[in-house]
Amino acid sequence: MPAPYEVYAIRYARHADRTARQNFIGDDAHDGPSPLDFFVWLARGEAGTFLVDTGFDDAMAARRGRDLLTPVAEGLAALGVDAGAVKDVIITHMHYDHAGNHALFPAARYHLQDDEMAYATGRWMTHAALRQAYTADDVAEMVRKVFADRVVFHAGDAELAPGLSLHLIGGHTQGMQVVRIWTRRGWLVLASDAAHLYANMDEGRPFPIVHDVAAMLEGHRTLKRLASHDDLVIPGHDPLVLERFRPPDPALAGLTARLDADPVGGGRRA
Ligand SMILES: [Zn+2]
């Protein structure tokens, strides 16, 4: 096996006043607070440093009514990573909270699924319900990167380096991909929005922003199949991530958690 990677979740924003009705299909009976956190993720190993998603900036936070807690560049700097030096960015999908900060990574090439570019630039975007989480500028900036030879397209599953691979899931968006990473605890899966919250996948209650509900539900199973343990599937927006995994340094609590280390309370999840 390849040398294990270090993997971090970096929280940059929050949507506090959100309720379960907005996060689960068919949850009308038990509506209550269900805040979302916003993350980017970092995998660091012998093959290099891989950034998973790029987050949004303060202008987008204001436009969408989200709270920017720590700009993405600062969060990366806290882990000793210079955004300007990042060479590989994986875009799980192009929703506004995953594909912004366009100028922050001038040295990076962007890994994207064929299906995601087709989805975000084609017929489906004529439906307001399907384009609500996309921003035209994010998509246009990615098209510009295509013309600048800075996008690497993938059609389905692909290994980027030994112990780090992409997996096409679909569901949430047509080209939604997840990242499988070899760690000292086994195979870890960064689900991004293939599962927003632990409860979406553990209870079979899908998130309402969705292109294909059936693919999303099947995707939940795929996530668990790709991971060595269920607690190595990391959802995309769950505030519990920063409670279940510890910061690499106490000074970084609330900003980042080391996902390849043992979770709080050992290897099990309540
Ligand atoms: Zn998201």
Q: Report pLDDT digits (tens) over 40-85.
A: 999 999 999 999 999 999 999 999 999 999 999 999 999 999 999 9
| 178 CA to centre of ligand 1 in angstroms | 12
The answer, yes or no, to whether residue 269 has pLDDT greater than 60, is: no
CA of residue 209 to ligand 1 center, whole Å: 10
Q: How far is the CA of 45 from the centre of ligand 1 (A)?
A: 25
pLDDT tens column, 75-103: 999 999 999 999 999 999 999 999 999 99
Asked whether 260 and 4 are in contact (CB, 8 A), the reply is yes
Residue 166 CA to ligand 1 centre (angstroms): 17
- Does residue 139 register a pLDDT over 80? yes
Residue 30 has pLDDT above 80, yes or no: no
C-alpha 224 to ligand 1 mean position (Å) = 19
CA separation for the pair 204, 247 (Å, rounded): 29
Asked whether the predicted pLDDT for residue 270 surpasses 60, the reply is: no
Classify 25 as helix, strand or coil: coil
Ligand 1 center to residue 54 CA distance, Å? Answer: 11
pTM: 0.96
What is the Cα–Cα distance from 205 to 216, expressed in whole angstroms?
A: 10
Helix H or strand E segment including 48: strand 48-52
* Torsional class of 46: left (φ above 0), alpha (ψ -120 to 50), beta (otherwise): alpha
- 192 CA distance to ligand 1 middle (Å): 7
Per the prediction, the chain carries an average pLDDT of 95
Model confidence at 268: pLDDT above 60: no
